Amino acid sequence: MNADELRTLQTPLKEQYRSDPASARKTLRVSGDLHPEHIACRVETSVGLVAAGLHPAAGGDGTWACAGDMLLEALGACAGVTLSAVATALAIPVRGGRVVAEGDLDFRGTLGVSRETPVGFDTIRLRFELDTDATPEQLDRLLQLTERYCVVFQTLKVPPAIEVTARRS
């Protein structure tokens, strides 16, 4: 896809969202079924079912997806798509490459071994290994705009309010 093709796809949406801001608000939804016998949850995604369970460092056997890995996968996927879209829109030559998302966490927190140990990632690193002839200035701009427009990156950087409820079914 080139910049003109991307513009053709996005221009009508941008015009609609400018003239009718409410139409830009969308609720994305995921639901899953609990499987207590496996300590697992099967989540329906837009491309199929994903079964998530315990990470091996928390007692899992490695046959189930790990939600922590899925978070990093979502970050890598979103950042990769965003970088590609920005490069296309700005005509920055990116022939290919890789995106790598890594996160560090201490499983003592999630297993309740240490109340002082936070639960969750304490550090996340996002790295792009790009096949490009872009100038250093273009790469700086590409990273700046990728950070700015990547939904998952921004959600992690500026966490939203989260509500949790439970009800009997």
Plot region of 93 (φ>0 → left; ψ -120 to 50 → alpha; else → beta): beta
Provide mean pLDDT across the span 67-76.
96
pLDDT digits (tens, 9 = 90+) for 128-164: 999 999 999 999 999 999 999 999 999 999 999 999 9
- Tell me how far CA of residue 167 lies from CA of 1, 89, 112, 163, 164, in angstroms: 46, 46, 25, 13, 11
Query: In the CATH hierarchy, which fold is given to the domain comprising 66-159?
Result: GMP Synthetase; Chain A, domain 3 (3.30.300)
Residue recorded with tokens 């872009």: 134
Model pTM above 0.85: yes
Only one residue has tokens 């460092």, namely 57
Residue 56: what pLDDT?
95
| Every domain of the chain and the residues it spans | 27-65, 66-159
For position 46, what pLDDT does the model report?
86
User: Which 3 state secondary structure label does DSSP give 92?
Assistant: coil
Spatial separation of the C-alpha atoms in residues 94 and 157, rounded to whole Å:
26
For 83-128, the pLDDT digits (tens) are 999 999 999 999 999 999 999 999 999 999 999 999 999 999 999 9
